[in-house]
Amino acid sequence: MDRSVARRAALLQGVAVAVVAVVFAVTLPHSFFEDAGWAAGPGAWAACAALCAVVLRLPLVPVLVGAAVAGLPSLVTVVLGAHWLGVPIAVAVFGLWCGRLAVRGRTARTRTHEAMA
Nearest CA to 87 out of 67, 102, 101 is that of 67
pLDDT tens by residue, 19-77: 999 999 999 998 998 888 888 889 999 999 999 999 999 999 999 999 999 999 888 88
Number of domains in the chain: 1
Domain coverage including residue 47: 3-116
Contact 101, 109 (CB under 8 A): no
Q: The pTM is what?
A: 0.85
pLDDT tens by residue, 49-62: 999 999 999 999 99
